Amino acid sequence: PSPSPSPSAPPAIANPCTAALAAGGDVLPVVARSAASTKSHGGLGVDKRDPREHLWAHRLAALEGRVEARDVRAAAPPDVGDIAVIPDDGSLIISPNPFDLAGRGLRFQPNATGGYDVSRADASFRPNLGPRRTLADDDTFQAPIPFAFPFYGTPRTTAFVNSDGNITYTRGDTATDERGLARLLSGAPRVAPFFADLDPSAGGGVFVATAPDALTVTWCSVRGFESSSTVTAQASLLPDGSVEVKFGSVSLGDAIVAVSPGATGGFAPVDLQATGPTPGGAAAVGERYAAQARLDLVTTAQRFYQGHPDLYDQLVFWTDTRVVESGTFAFETTVKNAVRGIGADVVDFSREHGSAGQLGSLVLMDNLGKYPADPTARVPGVGENTTLTLLGQECGHRWLALLRFRDASGAASDLLLGRDLAHWSFFFDSDASFMEGNDIEDLGGGSFRTVATVQRYGPLDLYAMGVLEESEVPPFSLVETPPGTGETRESGPRTGVAFGGTRHDLTIADVVAALGHRDPPARQSPRFHRQAFVYVVGGGRSADPSATAKLERIRAAWEPFFTAGTGGRMTLDTRLR
């Protein structure tokens, strides 16, 4: 792990960003632009997660010493009614790793194994920043490298400069999902001076300078997405394959600083504060920074199974302290899926979590204290949602919402989808689904109005969940809106919004044409879902009886609410066995 920053800050380095931003400079358009953003909005954040990210977080927590090793045979504490209570003994909650490289410099140097070692370097920014590029959120453009840059043994002559503090090869990266280790390791080859969710269109600028001896990219005071915090960082690609990274002022706390060959299963976590050179091996090397403590979902699930049978389809975790990053409210990660035709990958990480194959999904609802005492009351900061409708959304992510359809051109379209491409679009008439979209009234003449939100699982939800046959799915509609409507497809659901546009009527056949038939079909799919509510108590504390009583009220209300939300087509059991 990185040591705490020394009391004496590094000497101030003259930074050319200040003058460049003040002058405005030459502004060049991007060569390639990303599609319309489908980012997180409405306070919920990115709440559909890649299970590989949590597996990597679990592995790194032990490697970096951010959890304390414990005897996994320790006896599980007694349950409180139908609430499983798990105290954190130091092995469940991963401590923060604050960013500590502001005013520092690094050099990633090719090594004999074909990978990179890393050491401290001069922190002075290269003064020639080059022209400013007008990058939007989740944007990219292709830049020529003025020499053959040998990166992990492969010469590169073009680079893709991405909004999110990184440079890739072979393709740009405009994805909106989590900027985590899973994406770093499975994606394109990448230099990541500050891999985070950044939005240059909200503040700051991205500059690119080309010289015979370097391609230099500088992110000058670029804001985080929906944040006033900023980062100033510079990366230079050198002819010998080295990468220089410099940091100015940084107020964002969550990022990855690394280099990766892409499509790799290996990552060497190192302390980038070390003088070095620190060996990195042949795979990816770097450090992950996190301002907030996190729950090790893998270890916590394993701990649950020490005292409970492997009977549960989904584990729903609650905590007595915050364990999600800034901008996230709650999230789900699917650890096993064998269903085809719903847009989800076929995966099975259940055994890594302590299950022999029954476990399909984990939900982290985070700190119980942020939810009202009444589970039917609105939760502050997340639109028209209550605790129960939020459970409907997070638990629904086990199957939802990932459906595409074949459009008139024959291509698979994602226009049904909104934020993160894992929720329904604001302009999809979702029948007031828990998974967003709206119940939309057609007023005629190209005018529409939203009349209801987050009330149930809609027909497309029920189809993907396996409780509605293809033949039972009614036609549905999507409104195509002109620019400047005021809402975007990723906007959170809201009643009483009027807008204009063109209605497009679709059928389930359009979905099947894009994704294939659901396999297994509804007649062969389970109509019973079993969950366990798990309360994780941190800091050596005992569970507060008032907290477990509150959680029991939520659990008791949730069972009938879920069943009603499916129109009685699926039943839920949250009792412990």
Contact 521, 467 (CB under 8 A): no
pLDDT band at 46 (very low <50, low <70, confident <90, very high): low
Q: Sketch the domain layout of the chain as residue ranges.
A: 17-34+98-289, 48-95+293-399+526-573, 408-524
Residue with tokens 């502050």: 380
Say yes or no to pLDDT of 44 above 80: no
Say yes or no to pLDDT of 36 above 70: no
Could you tell me where the DSSP H helices lie in 128-232?
Answer: 181-186
Low-confidence winner among 125-134, 322-331, 332-341 (lowest mean pLDDT): 322-331
Say yes or no to pLDDT of 30 above 50: no
The reported pLDDT for the residue numbered 77 is 62
pLDDT band at 72 (very low <50, low <70, confident <90, very high): very low
- Please name every residue paired with 215 in a beta bridge, in sequence order, or none if there are none: 210, 237
CA distances from 31 to 83, 142, 148, 162, 176 (A): 55, 7, 21, 12, 20
Please report, as a single letter, which amino acid is at residue 575. R
- The pTM for the full model equals 0.86
Say yes or no to pLDDT of 56 above 90: no
pLDDT band at 444 (very low <50, low <70, confident <90, very high): very high
Contact 308, 576 (CB under 8 A): yes
Task: Please state the rounded mean pLDDT for residues 192-197.
Answer: 96
Contact 223, 201 (CB under 8 A): no
Q: What are the tokens at 22?
A: 């003040």
CB under 8 A, 24+ apart: contacts of 498-503: 498/443, 498/447, 498/448, 498/449, 499/427, 499/447, 499/448, 499/449, 500/446, 500/447, 500/448, 501/427, 501/446, 501/448, 502/446, 503/442, 503/446, 503/448, 503/477, 503/478, 503/479
Please report, as a single letter, which amino acid is at residue 569. R
Say yes or no to pLDDT of 364 above 90: yes
Three-state secondary structure call for residue 221: strand
Interval 110-163: pLDDT, tens: 999 999 999 999 999 999 999 999 999 999 999 999 999 999 999 999 999 999
Q: Using H for helix, E for strand and C for coil, what is the string for 356-376?
A: CCCCCEEEEEEEHHHCCCCCC
Contact 396, 387 (CB under 8 A): no
Task: Please state the rounded mean pLDDT for residues 94-99.
Answer: 92
Say yes or no to pLDDT of 40 above 50: no
Could you tell me where the DSSP H helices lie in 64-151?
Answer: none
Q: Using H for helix, E for strand and C for coil, what is the string for 12-60?
A: CCCCCHHHHHHHCCCEECCCCCCCCCCCCCCCCCCCEECHHHHHHHHHH
